[in-house]
Amino acid sequence: MLEENVKVLTIAELIHGARPLSGTSFLHPYLDRPISRTSSSNHRTPLGPADSISDSTNHKILTPLNHPVVLIGTLTLHSSHDDCLEFTDSSSEICCDILDFNVCAIGKRIHVTAWNFIPLKGTNGFLEIIKWNFPESTSVLHGCSSTDSFDSFPLFQSSVAASEIDHSKSRYRFHGAIESVSPVSIVPCSRPCSSNDSANIRGFLMGVLACDCKFCTAKECEITQECHSFTKPKFVYFSGAASCWHPVATKLVGKVITILGLKKKLVFIGKEESQLMFVTTENSVLHVPRLLKKWSPPSKTVIKGKGESGVYTGVVKGVYMQGLLVELDNEVWLLLTDKLRTVPHSLRLGAVVREITSFLCLFIA
């Protein structure tokens, strides 16, 4: 049963209010406990003037609510924006991002106890999920194994169980650490496609450092949790329907994963250069260790400002040129060179940009 002063708000009520709101000011220890509901009609109250500190809302400032508010819905991959997850309830859906991400939350009902809502023109807005938990009824997650050392997630809705993968068509796999993830892009089909295929292929590249030991390269050998050496650079292309996993892939950068059911393709870049890479299939399955540990490369690049690539974390202090130029910490400028890339919904003043990877660093006097 909900605490007397805790309200349940629907996504539709947030969208209809069209005001930037923060549901973080009144966090209490009891909000960490699983929440049960009796009758939603008793606790859902439309937003009104009393819900904010001031009626004169500045649409560039998040207005804190004067009481605890909980959002209840399902986290899914089917967002209209490539960089976002989607939070949905019976009233509507909204693009979102989430802290303390757990892959097991995909497709599951969650309680959001701390959040920010940002209205955006032409969309339902954007929800920043800061603190959340699983309802008491789903404390044992049906989509995640409670006995295995890893959790399995088919990359396609039509995927079969990992034990039933047709290895004759998709017999490759890799076990390694994710180093980088590209934006989602559309590649035109260079040859005649079948009537069932789209002329354009959506997808993204994942750069990994894979282990090349006999256990990881063997086609039918079980990958153990023994020590591995992640030194072999490889690329995995998430093609077609698998591209919806992009927001999850970006959150797993630096983590060690396994993907089964891959095929190999020789990709030509221009007329002379080629690259052998893995490509997802309808049988591809993602394995994520239950004890997900951060992987660190053996040595870090020393940034001297002479064209090195590296990693940076900072707070957004300014956004210019329609999102192509971002100022971090009042001392670093991030230039996004891809003009076709859609600006992430989460890019705003005060946002923390964590672990920018694969950038070119130059000091400009």
pLDDT tens digit at each of 365 positions of the chain? 456 677 899 999 999 998 999 998 656 444 444 443 333 333 444 444 334 333 333 456 888 888 889 999 999 998 777 789 999 999 999 999 999 999 999 999 999 999 999 998 888 999 999 999 998 754 444 456 555 678 899 998 754 554 555 556 678 888 999 988 988 888 876 665 554 555 688 899 999 999 888 777 666 556 555 667 888 999 999 999 999 999 999 999 889 999 999 999 988 777 778 888 999 999 899 999 877 666 666 555 555 555 555 667 888 898 888 888 889 888 888 887 776 667 778 888 888 876 555 554 554 43
The HSE-up count of residue 215 (CA atoms within 13 Å, CB side) is: 12
DSSP SS3 for 263: strand
d(CA 118, CA 338): 25
The answer for residues whose C-beta is within 8 angstroms of residue 231's C-beta and 6 or more apart is 209, 211, 212
Look up tokens 């079969």; give the residue.
160
Core vs surface per residue 79-100: b (16+ CB within 10 A) or e: bebbbbbbbbbeebbbbbbbee
Token pair belonging to 233: 């650079």
Residue 199 vs residues 153, 342, 345: alpha-carbon distances, Å = 28, 21, 28
CA distances from 298 to 80, 229, 301, 359 (A): 38, 10, 10, 19
Backbone angles phi, psi at 90, to 5 degrees: -70, -15
Structure tokens of 312?
């940076």
Cα separations (Å) of 97 from 248, 272, 360? 10, 40, 26
Q: Helices (DSSP H) in the chain: which residue ranges? A: 11-17, 214-217, 246-251
